Every structure is written in C-alpha cells, then in structure tokens.
Amino acid sequence: MSLYDIPVETATGDTTTLGAYDDKLLLVVNVASRCGLTPQYGDLQKLQETYRDQGLQVVGFPCNQFNGQEPGSNEEIQEFCVATYGVDFPVFAKIEVNGENRHPVYDVLTETVDSQGDSGDVAWNFEKYLVAPGGQIIARVRPQESPATPEFVALVEQNLPAAA
C-alpha cells in the first residue's frame, strides 16, 4: 500500500488520505504543543508560506508519546496551532508514531534511514520526513534540526516539484 492510500483521520474526525498531495513535496512532521521544540511550528509555517506555490505541502501529526507533551484534544490542538503560530497547513488527528499502535503512515516512514544511517522509532517530537512527488521518501531529519536551518531549506529547495 502506498503512503498516499493509507487512511488518516482529520482533526474533525473525517477519514481521508494523503493522496491529494501525491504531486507535492510532502513534509510530514510529528508535532506537539508543549515541547521545547514547539517553536518549530513557526518555522514549518514559514516554509509552507514560502514554498507552497512551488509544490511544498507540510502536514502535521500530533503525538502524545513523548513525555505527554501533546495532551490536548484535536480541537484544542487546532486552536493552539492557529492562534499561536498561524498554522494553515493540515494538522491531522492525534496518533501514535511508535509502538504496537503506531499509525500505518509511520510504519512506512520509520523504515527510512536518517543521515547517520539509522531507521526505526521516531526519536522525539518534530521528526521530519520529506516525501518526493510520487511517494519516494527522500530524507529523514531528526527533531533537533530546525526546519529553518540553511541545510534544511536547501534540501527543500532542491526537491521542489517546480525545481525539477
């Protein structure tokens, strides 16, 4: 099954897929509202605004598996994202990214190796995956690397569909 065919739940409880983004450079991030890395929401939103018209689509999957740093309801998470960071990219329903209840999207994503050659469980909130149009996962970037670093921005720019 393709990453684009896996059912995902929206924050409002509807079922959809990532299929609408199969022609985009997809940036998938597990997010949390009460983490030291939460300001990355602002960096993700800036990337979305800057590169949307060139084919970037950011999507967030809230997760409460890391020290309970995403305790809110789906509605509370949405309100926080919009009010605090002006987020206009999709933030889906809360999921698990590790363990026996890992969401199938993360079953696929966690097979990807990072720059150190490591795959497996998500390390923490704000781990980032870049997925090329068509579904090939091209990068796994660990949580501590901000999406605002020149290296990360260059990685995005090099893989935009409009740049191809």
125-162 pLDDT tens trace:
999 999 999 999 999 999 999 999 999 999 999 999 97
Q: Is pLDDT at 164 greater than 80 in this prediction?
A: no
pLDDT (0 to 100) of residue 88: 97
Domain range list for the chain: 3-156
pLDDT (0 to 100) of residue 1: 75
High-pLDDT (> 90) share of the chain, %: 96
> Which residue out of 28, 35, 108, 130 is catalytically annotated?
35
Summarised one tens digit per residue, pLDDT across range 27-70 is 999 999 999 999 999 999 999 999 999 999 999 999 999 999 99
Q: How far apart are CA 98 and CA 24, in angstroms?
A: 26
Q: How far is CA 126 from CA 22, 44, 134, 162, in A?
A: 22, 10, 23, 26
Backbone angle region of 127, left / alpha / beta, with phi > 0 → left and psi within -120 to 50 → alpha: beta
Top-tier CATH class for 3-156: alpha beta
Does 81 qualify as catalytic in the annotation?
A: no
Across 86-96, average pLDDT? 98
Across 77-106, average pLDDT? 98
Summarised one tens digit per residue, pLDDT across range 4-33 is 999 999 999 999 999 999 999 999 999 999
Q: Is pLDDT at 163 greater than 90 in this prediction?
A: no
pLDDT (0 to 100) of residue 60: 98
pLDDT (0 to 100) of residue 162: 73
Q: Is pLDDT at 120 greater than 70 in this prediction?
A: yes
High-pLDDT (> 70) share of the chain, %: 99
